[in-house]
Amino acid sequence: MKPLHTPPAATPPKTCADARRRYGRRDFLKSAVQAAALCGAAAVTGCDPGQIQSGQIGLQWQEYFKKNYRLMTPLEKEATVRRLEQLAKLQRGIDIQIGTTEPVKEVLFGYAFNLTRCEGFMECVQACVRENNLDRASKTQYIRIFEMEPGQMSPESGNGQYFHEVPVDNHFYMGIQCFHCQNAPCVKACPTKATWMEPDGIVVVDYDWCIGCRYCMAACPYWGRRFNFNEPHVPEEEITRKQHYLGNRLRTRGMMEKCTFCIQRSRDGKLPACVAACPTGARIFGNLLDPDSEIRFVLKHKKVFRLKEDLGTDPKFWFFID
Partner 1 sequence: MKKQPSSLRLYIALTLLLIVLPGSAIKVYCGQQGVQAIITQAGRSVSAAPAADAAGGLPANLVQVHATHNGQPFWTETRKDKVRRFKCSQCHDNSTVTAENAAAVAHGDMVLEHGGAQKPLTCFTCHKEDQRDFFETQKGVVIDMDHVDELCGQCHFRQKRDWIGGAHGKRVGNWAGRRVVANCTACHDPHSPLFKKRWPATYALPLDKP
Q: Name residues contacting partner 1, limited to 190-219 (CB under 8 A).
A: none
Q: Which of 22, 182, 189, 197 binds partner 1 (CB under 8 A)?
A: 182
Q: Name residues contacting partner 1, limited to 118-157 (CB under 8 A).
A: 119-123, 125-126, 129, 138-139, 141, 144-146, 155-157
Cβ proximity to partner 1, 62 vs 293, nearer residue: 293
For the segment 92-111, give every residue that binds partner 1 (CB under 8 A).
104-108, 110
CA 115 – CA 228 distance, rounded (Å): 30
Instruction: Choose between 65 and 305: whose C-beta lies nearer to partner 1.
Output: 305
160: which DSSP letter? S
62 binds partner 1 (CB under 8 A): no
**Residue number with CB closer to partner 1 (84 or 112):** 112
Number of residues assigned to the chain: 322
Residue in 93, 161, 235, 236 binding partner 1, rule: CB under 8 A: 161
**CB-wise, 90 or 288, nearer to partner 1?**
288
Selection from 282, 281, 280, 285 nearest residue 263 by Cα? 285
Question: Running DSSP on this structure, what letter comes out for residue 121?
Answer: -
Please name every residue paired with 197 in a beta bridge, in sequence order, or none if there are none. 203
Interaction of residue 233 with partner 1, rule CB under 8 A: no
Map the footprint of partner 1 across residues 243-302, applying CB under 8 A: 266, 268-271, 275, 278-281, 284-299, 301-302
| Per CB under 8 A, 171 contacts partner 1 | no
> Is residue 221 near partner 1 by the rule CB under 8 A?
no
Give the H/E segment covering residue 226. Answer: strand 225-227
Peptide bond into 185 cis (omega under 30): no
20 versus 302: smaller Cβ distance to partner 1: 302
Q: In 4-68, where does DSSP find H-type helix?
A: 16-23, 25-44, 49-54, 56-64
**Total residues at the site for partner 1 (CB under 8 A)?**
71
Taking the least distance from each CB to partner 1, the nearer of 256 and 295 is 295
40-49 — which CB contacts under 8 Å span 24+ positions?
Answer: none
Count Cβ atoms within 10 A of the Cβ of residue 101 and give its class: 0-12 exposed, 13-18 middle, 19 or more buried. Answer: middle
